[in-house]
Chain A
């Protein structure tokens, strides 16, 4: 599951620069890697949230099976 999420991130990041064409601010931030750092931190948080939610789903499923 984590692999699929990370692969999706990698795929989207790989084609993201195509979206930034002609954007001077994005290009400036890109040239000193600030944009990459912001995106990376945001993605770490987001992936962490998704992993947490999936683990919670699993725990709830176990509890539901126990109660049944």
Chain B
């Protein structure tokens, strides 16, 4: 059933419409006039949805890792690995857009005292280890088994680093962390919501699109290897 979704076009067109909407209206929509943030708040349509996209793809990676461990079918390992790859890519884009935003609002590309930035970097490192682990095995079965188990640990660590530790910190520059009010409570007005929610689904769709291509390429490679 999941394989069928990879070949359907409705979500591709939905992604295109949502991202066009985001990239056009994101620059035109009326925003709340907030000190320091000012026009940079438009980065909310890029930076935050990219992280949501990463979370969604990593969640899919975790689900397919669990499914693989339940029945040891290699195709689920292919799904898990490729969703993690694109999730990592979206996370990197999230960090880069965050750095640009930090430079504009906080005056530095990277604030070393900021818990969430460091936690985000650590979360990406946890997933880097996943790819290193995968590349260290020659036997495909061991590679799939070990990386599926590690994937569970990686996802738990990822959620702890991104969502738990920053909230426990006593001070943070990020909204919604270290006692700061979140965007929801005072900044995210209805004009922003009109673009923000489509942006979330649009970036998730783009991540899914990239993953679907990697997965299909992986299946083609495997078939060619079998033929040889």
Question: A residues bordering B, Cβ < 8 Å?
Answer: 5, 8-9, 12-13, 16-17, 19-23, 25-26, 35, 38-39, 42-43, 46, 50, 53-54, 56-57, 60, 63-64, 67
Contacts and interface: CB of A to CB of B under 8 A. Distances in A.
B24 A9 contact: yes
B17 interface: yes
Interface residues of B, number: 27
Contacts, number: 72
Interface string B1-20: 00000000000100011011
B24 A39 contact: yes
Given A25-B39, A56-B213, A43 B20 contact: yes
B17 A8 contact: yes
A8 B23 CA distance: 12
Interface string B57-89: 000000000000000000000000000000000
Interface of B: 12, 16-17, 19-21, 23-25, 27-31, 38-39, 191, 209-210, 213, 216-217, 219-220, 223-224, 227
* Interface of chain B: mostly helix, strand, loop or mixed: helix
A23 B31 contact: yes
23 contacts: A5-B16, A5-B20, A8-B17, A9-B24, A12-B20, A16-B25, A17-B28, A19-B30, A21-B30, A23-B28, A23-B30, A38-B27, A39-B23, A42-B27, A43-B20, A50-B16, A53-B12, A53-B213, A60-B220, A64-B216, A64-B219, A64-B220, A67-B227
